[in-house]
Amino acid sequence: MDAPVQKAISNIYFRYSIAIGITSHRLTNKKFQRSSIARVYALIVNILTLFLLPIVMWMAESTFSAKRKFPTLILITYNVRYGLTYLVIVYTILSRGFRDTVFKEMQPLIAALYREEQRYGLKLQRTSLQMLLYLKCFTVIWLCVTDSMFLFYARGEMNWLSFATYLFLTNAFNILHMTTMGYFLALWHMATGYSCVKQRLNEIITSNSRDLHELHHLWALHATLTKSVLKINKIYGPQMLATRFESFIYGVIQAYWGTFFAFGVDTPPVIWLIYGCTTYFLHALDFFLIDNICDLLENYQNSMGHSWSERRWRKETNAFVTYANSYRLKLWTCGLFEANRSFWFDMISNVLYYFIMLLQFHLATTK
């Protein structure tokens, strides 16, 4: 779980998260730490973001609307989208301390899993988890860069003020991408924990010896992982609900904008159409990866009893299967919906439905 690439991803995430003020913690030698300087810096960045972001967004909107004469509905949807984005950013900043409790929850688990890895040489065997992490990193980087490019296009004349505005908006809008990345990383580490625990449990159950102390220790670690996943999901629940709603509005409005700029004005070059479609697809994929890791966690936690039931039956095996079948993991967001791939497809279908409604309204108002 501590491969060089994964360690580099973690370092980049924490350094940039500290830079934009969504946390004051960093991961050093398997421990979450924060300094007084980092706490003060994060507080200053948060205050500046809260008070300067509305002004800077108003300046950006004025510059964007002055570039050409847009239909009224384009300007309305622009204000709705970025107004909602600001509200979610405000909530993200104000709830920073609440989300940081995740680090306290993860700290003992990371230490315990590291000890298991050192004792038995356990390694992350699931290539699918590694690829999932790399794909998530790619989508986050792409979205951060493309948002930056759009803001660069929307700026006015290039001077020190417009450049400072551009940098400020880029970092502020990236807050949402990095916050969901934090949720994904927390769940991803829990998934690697399940994988390593299952690897060690399978070694014990297939061996001839019966190390009951070790077996009970791993069962307890498995149960602790499940409780921690539920706590992490509960802590991030309101944040993910707000971010998911913002992503839903983005999907509807961005599809409408794409249709308008592709067919309603001078046809742009093909490369820009491909670029826009790719960005839209990766934005949808970004949330799919989050719902997918939730599905994987449920499968990893629930599948252990099924895999063991096919082994040679022992009293210890019977006890674990009973535990696994009676304590099934379900990840609900604020008790409203279960985060999984099925819900993601439902959200995409709703995006399509409201996009068609918005497009019909546009056609009706332009006649």
pLDDT digits (tens, 9 = 90+) for 11-52: 888 888 888 888 888 777 777 778 888 889 889 999 999 998
pTM: 0.84
pLDDT at 290: 92
Residue 309 above 60 pLDDT? no
Residue 131 above 90 pLDDT? no
SS3 210: coil
Distances (CA, A) of 90 to 73, 96, 112, 319: 26, 10, 35, 48
Cβ neighbors of 46 (< 8 A, separation 6 or more) are 21, 93, 96
Residue 66 above 60 pLDDT? yes
Rounded Cα gap, residues 224 and 208, in angstroms: 27
pLDDT tens for each residue of 315-366? 666 666 666 666 677 888 888 888 888 888 888 888 888 888 888 887 777 6
Instruction: Specify which of 173-187, 269-283, 306-320 reaches the highest per-range mean pLDDT.
Output: 173-187
pLDDT at 365: 74
Q: Are 31 and 106 within 8 A, CB to CB?
A: no
pLDDT at 242: 92
Other beta carbons within 10 angstroms of residue 159's beta carbon come to 10
The overall average pLDDT reported for the chain is 79
H-helix segments, the chain: 4-20, 36-66, 72-94, 96-99, 101-120, 127-154, 160-206, 212-259, 270-308, 315-326, 341-366
pLDDT at 1: 46
Residue 181 above 50 pLDDT? yes
